Every structure is written in C-alpha cells, then in structure tokens.
C-alpha cells in the first residue's frame, strides 16, 4: 500500500461531514416533486419518514463495515474486501465517471445559478454559469489539496451555517402570518396510495443520499471505531429530524396542492407567510447548502480514485498522498479535470439520471457484503468489541436491501411510463467498465488484487 494519510478528522467534523453532505439542494429542490404523486399530506410525511429510516438502516450497516475496514475508499473498499476486485472496480469506475464527478458537476452548476441570483453583477461582467461552476470546482479542489484538517474544518463551518439557516427558515414558517393563496387547479394524482408513495421515494432517496460519506475518509478519521458510528448514525438522525421539521412547515404554510411539482417550494412558503423580505436570505441559504455538499463530494470522490490506485485497479500514482499536506493530490486533479470536461461536453443531468438504478443497486450490493460469511467474520477481528456490530442482524441489512430494490422498481416504472429507456444507459457504462477491467487485467496495465 502507498503511504498512509494521517488520522486527523475528529468526531464533530466527521458528523458535520455526514449532515452537511445529506442536506444539500435536495430538500429545497425536491420537496415539490416528492409531493406531486402522493394522495395527501400524511402520505408525504410518511414518505420522508420512510426515506429517513432507509438511510438509517444503511448507516447502521455501513457503520459495521466502516469500523471493520477503517481505511480510505468507502463502498469501493468494502466491495473489494468481500467480493473482490471486479465489482469493486465497477463501483470505482462508475463513481469516477458518473456518480461522484456528475454529482460535483451538478452541484457546481446549481451553485453557480444561485450565486448569480445573489450577485447579478457576475453575469453582467460576462461570467456564465459554466464558468462560475468551473471556478467553484477549482476552488474546492484547491481547498482539499490542503491539509485534511483545513478542508474538514472549512466544511464543518459551512454545515453549522447551513443548520442555523434551516432552523431560521423553520422558525419563519412557524411564526409567519398566513396569506391566502390563489387556488390552483388540482393536478392528476396517482389514486393508488402505495404507487404514489413509491414514486415519491425517488426524489426523497436523492435528498437523503450521502449518509455513507464518512466511510470514504475512514483512513483519515481519528479513532475510527468510535468516531464512525457516531458520525454515520448521528448525522443521519440529525438530517432526518430536520427534513421532517422543514417539510411539515412547508405543508403547514402552503398546503399539499401548492407544493405539487413546484421547484421553488421554500420561496413560495416564505411568501405565503408574509416574509418575502427574507427571500435573499433563502437564496444565500440554498447556495451555502449546495456548496457545502459540493465540498464534501470533492473530498469523498477523490478518495475512491485514491483507493482504486492503492488496490491496483487504477494507476498507482493516484494512491499517492502529498508529502506535506497528506492529501491525494493526483486523485483530486483527475477528478477535477474530468468533472470540468463533463460540464462543458455533456448533458450532466441526463448522465446522472441514467445511472440512478446502478447507484441504488450498488448501495444494496455494498450492504449485502455484511451477509457474506467472510464479510461478517474477519480473521483480523476476533473480538466483537473491535468494531461496531449492526443491531438486529441480519434484519437491518436485509431491510435496507429490500428498500433499495423497492426504490429501484419505482425508478424503473417511472421511466417506462415516460416512454424513456434512460436507465439502460447506466448499464451501458457498466458494460464499458467491464471491458476496461478485462483489458487492464489481460494486458498487465495494472494488477487487480
């Protein structure tokens, strides 16, 4: 293995990383789309509860894997340890070309959009959204070039600001004086409550995604067997509570009908309680939320590339850490360059949407590694006290896998009903990755181990 990074990330920063990564743009952008298919407000809140439970099931399971294998790489590492190099490479490949890089690109573009809204002077001087997004990606890549403690502490500050803003938003909506809204025509709603519920889980799944982020930096976390469970489980629970509070305030101030298919639910909610003068505050809050998630995505995504190099399924140089800063500079550069190429050359949203099913199924495969005998029992850990043990095993990992398959079914049915075969593109990338792995192994470019 290459020289190891230092373990410097403490409990507070690790928990802030999980919370900050989960609470991104999803809660602001996706609340209206989650409200669209459900039959009433109770089903909407139930869907957000179910999403939180699903994330918690995943966090409880990942906490065991992360403390059993407390090294850099996250899902890539767990798949490699339990299932071997091929599925691990496919996960790393998808993360590098779509999952992580695509998410970074979308967050950067969305952050640029809100930055222009906050400071219109940026567009007046000729800066386009893509140019500002490039600057954001470059800035956060540079931040994470520096010592891990610098990037983590910067991220923690963003998370604290974000959480404070979320509570201010909830307070405004609770205390505001309601203004009568114009009635809206009732859209066509799915009459089957279960079908509408499953459809609502598609955007909710994305709003909750990111609960496993601390595992990607486990090799840089101090006292990982104590810190990781607190960060993963605690961060997920904090996020779930905040999501339920915020969505309840949206429902109370707007009502379900005004939320359906609305992309600016928070702004409408602010206006509905007579607090329109806080609109600029809301724009700043959304921007901070987005760039906070962007920061973590940059930090975590590079660790997958680093771990791929460390395990011989990608160029060895990507595993190197800087002699002074102890950060994976090569992996960060590769990720940054590829992300910028995606932004300027491809339709990022369609690319990421195409990989939705693959992303969900990989998360289920990772959790399933707990059910493998060699995943549950390790020669290196003879005592149960050595690492966190998932409670109610094997019910919790099985429940997560079932939930992931349920969401996957909902996504597939949604696209088929739209006459779209977009998810097939994600499996095409899996096929391309399989071919690259075969060439890599056959011709000795690297030695998968």
Structural domain spans, the chain: 11-441
Residues above pLDDT 90, as percent of the chain: 42
At 19, which helix (H) or strand (E)?
helix 11-22
Is the pLDDT reported for residue 335 higher than 90? yes
For residue 127, give the DSSP letter.
-
pLDDT at residue 184 tops 70:
no
Distances in Å between the alpha carbon of 263 and those of 65, 203, 370? 37, 12, 38
| Per-residue confidence (pLDDT) for residue 237, from 0 to 100 | 95
CA distances from 29 to 46, 161, 172, 259, 300 (A): 19, 19, 19, 11, 23
Does the pLDDT value for residue 385 go beyond 50? yes
Per-residue pLDDT reduced to its tens digit, 109-137: 988 988 988 888 988 888 899 999 999 99
Confidence band of 382 (pLDDT split at 50, 70, 90): very low
Query: Over 50: is that where the pLDDT of 422 sits?
Result: yes
Q: What confidence score (pLDDT) does residue 1 get? A: 47
User: For the chain, what is the mean pLDDT?
Assistant: 86
Q: Does domain 11-441 have CATH number 1.20.1740.10?
A: yes
Residue 214 and residue 232 in contact, taking contact as beta carbons nearer than 8 Å: yes
pLDDT confidence bin for 365, thresholds 50/70/90: very high
* Tens digit of each residue's pLDDT (9 = 90 or more) over 263-283: 778 888 888 888 888 888 888
The total of other beta-carbon atoms located within 10 Å of residue 12's CB is 16
Copy the structure tokens of residue 107.
């967050």
pTM: 0.88
d(CA 186, CA 170): 27
pLDDT bucket at 324, cuts 50 / 70 / 90: confident
Q: What does 354-380 look like in DSSP terms, one character per residue?
A: HTHHHHHHHHHHHHHGGGSHHHH--TT
Residue 433, pLDDT score: 95
* pLDDT of 85 above 80: yes
Mean pLDDT of 368-393: 71
Percentage of the chain exceeding pLDDT 70 = 90
């Amino acid at each position: 293995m290459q020289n190891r990074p230092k373990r410097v990330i403490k409990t507070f920063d690790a928990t802030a990383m999980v919370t900050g990564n989960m609470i991104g743009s999803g809660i602001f952008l996706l609340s209206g789309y989650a409200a669209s298919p459900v039959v009433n407000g109770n089903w909407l809140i139930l869907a957000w509860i179910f999403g939180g439970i699903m994330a918690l099931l995943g966090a409880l399971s990942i906490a065991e894997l992360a403390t059993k294998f407390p090294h850099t790489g996250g899902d890539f590492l767990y798949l490699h340890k339990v299932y071997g190099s091929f599925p691990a490479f496919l996960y790393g490949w998808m993360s590098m070309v779509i999952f992580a890089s695509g998410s970074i690109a979308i967050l950067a573009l969305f952050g640029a959009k809100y930055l222009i809204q906050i400071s219109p002077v940026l567009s007046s001087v000729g800066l386009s959204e893509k140019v500002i997004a490039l600057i954001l990606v470059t800035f956060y890549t540079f931040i994470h070039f520096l010592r891990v403690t610098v990037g983590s502490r910067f991220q923690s500050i963003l998370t604290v600001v974000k959480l404070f803003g979320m509570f201010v938003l909830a307070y405004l909506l609770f205390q505001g004086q309601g203004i009568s809204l114009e009635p809206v025509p009732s859209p066509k709603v799915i009459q089957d409550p279960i079908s509408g519920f499953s459809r609502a889980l598609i955007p909710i799944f994305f709003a909750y995604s990111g609960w496993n982020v601390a595992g990607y930096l486990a090799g840089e976390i101090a006292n990982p067997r104590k810190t990781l469970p607190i960060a993963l489980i605690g961060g997920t629970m904090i996020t779930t509570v905040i999501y339920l509070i915020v969505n309840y305030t949206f429902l109370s101030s707007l009502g379900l009908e005004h939320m359906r298919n609305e992309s600016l639910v928070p702004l409408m909610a602010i206006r509905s309680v007579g607090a329109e003068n806080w609109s600029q505050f809301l724009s700043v809050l959304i921007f901070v939320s987005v760039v906070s998630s962007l920061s973590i995505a940059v930090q975590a995504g590079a660790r997958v590339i680093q771990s791929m190099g460390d395990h011989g399924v990608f160029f060895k140089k990507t595993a190197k850490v800087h002699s002074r800063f102890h950060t994976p500079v090569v992996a960060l550069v590769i990720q940054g360059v590829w992300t910028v190429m995606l932004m300027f050359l491809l339709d990022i949203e369609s690319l990421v949407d195409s990989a939705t099913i693959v992303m969900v199924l990989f998360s289920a495969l990772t959790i399933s590694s707990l059910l493998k005998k060699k995943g549950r029992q390790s020669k290196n850990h003879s005592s149960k006290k050595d690492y966190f043990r998932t409670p109610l095993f094997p019910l919790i990992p099985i429940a997560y896998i079932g939930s992931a398959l349920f969401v996957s079914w909902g996504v597939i049915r949604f696209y088929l009903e739209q006459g779209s075969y977009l998810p097939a593109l994600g499996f095409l990338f899996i096929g391309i990755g399989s071919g690259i792995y075969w060439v890599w192994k056959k011709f000795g470019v690297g030695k998968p181990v």
